[in-house]
Structure 1
Amino acid sequence: MSFEIIQIPRDDEGIRLYLERHKAFRLLALKTDPDAFGSTFAREIAFTDDVWFNRLKNPQITTFLALRSDQVVCSISLGGPLPCTPEESSPSKDPWTILSGDPSAGEQSHWRGLGMFTLPSARGQGIATAIIARTVQFGIDEAAKSGKTAVFSIAVEHDNPAAVGLYEKCGFKTIIKEPWFRDRPRIALLLKYSPTSERSEASVE
Structure 2
Amino acid sequence: MTTEETGASPTFAIVPIPTSLATDPRYSRHTQAVITQRYRALRLHALKTAPAAFASSYELEVKRGLDQTLDRLSNPKAINFIALKANSESKDTTTSDDGLPELLMPEWMAEWVGMIVLLGPQSDDTSSGPSARRDPFAKMTGPIEALEDQDTVDSHSRPRYALRYHLNGVFVNPSARKSGLGQRLVSAALEKAAAAAREAQVPMKCSVLVDSENDVARRVYEAAGFRVVAREAYVQQPRELVAGESQASERVALLMKVELGSPGDR
TM (normalized to structure 1)? 0.89
Q: CA deviation at 1:83?
A: 4.8
> Secondary structure at 1:125's aligned position in 2?
coil
CA contact 1:79–1:112 (8 Å) conserved in 2: yes
2:214 matched to 1:173? no
| Separation (CA, whole Å) in 1 of partners of 2:205 and 2:49 | 30
Instruction: Report what 1:108 is aligned to.
Output: 162
Deviations 1:71-90 (A, max 9, x none): 11110010101255699324
One-letter code aligned to 2:254? L
| Separation (CA, whole Å) in 2 of partners of 1:186 and 1:141 | 35
Instruction: Report what 2:120 is aligned to.
Output: 80
| 1:75–1:135 distance in 2 versus 1, CA, 3 Å | same
CA contact 2:37–2:66 (8 Å) conserved in 1: no
One-letter code aligned to 2:251? R
CA contact 1:91–1:176 (8 Å) conserved in 2: no
Q: CA deviation at 1:39?
A: 0.6
Instruction: Report what 1:203 is aligned to.
Output: none
Instruction: Report what 1:184 is aligned to.
Output: 249
Q: CA deviation at 1:149?
A: 1.9
| Separation (CA, whole Å) in 2 of partners of 1:171 and 1:15 | 35
**Gapped runs of 5+ residues in structure 1?**
201-205
Instruction: Report what 1:94 is aligned to.
Output: 135
| 1:42–1:84 distance in 2 versus 1, CA, 3 Å | farther
| Separation (CA, whole Å) in 2 of partners of 1:125 and 1:16 | 30
Aligned with residue 77 of structure 2, among 40, 60, 80: 60
2:12 matched to 1:3? yes
| Separation (CA, whole Å) in 1 of partners of 2:126 and 2:214 | 21
CA contact 2:130–2:166 (8 Å) conserved in 1: no
CA contact 2:125–2:161 (8 Å) conserved in 1: no
One-letter code aligned to 1:2? T
Aligned pair count reads 199
| Separation (CA, whole Å) in 2 of partners of 1:86 and 1:113 | 18
Deviations 1:29-87 (A, max 9, x none): 11111111111111110111110000000011100011003111110010101255699
CA contact 1:80–1:112 (8 Å) conserved in 2: yes
CA contact 1:152–1:193 (8 Å) conserved in 2: yes
| 1:85–1:176 distance in 2 versus 1, CA, 3 Å | farther
| Separation (CA, whole Å) in 2 of partners of 1:75 and 1:35 | 16
Aligned with residue 188 of structure 2, among 112, 116, 134: 134
Aligned-pair identity in percent equals: 28
**Gapped runs of 5+ residues in structure 2?**
1-9, 87-109, 148-159, 237-247
2:111 matched to 1:71? yes
Deviations 1:158-194 (A, max 9, x none): 0111111111111111111011112211001111011
2:52 matched to 1:35? yes
Deviations 1:80-124 (A, max 9, x none): 012556993243121022121315754310001010001112111
2:189 matched to 1:162? no
| Separation (CA, whole Å) in 1 of partners of 2:39 and 2:130 | 26
Higher helix share: 1
TM (normalized to structure 2)? 0.69
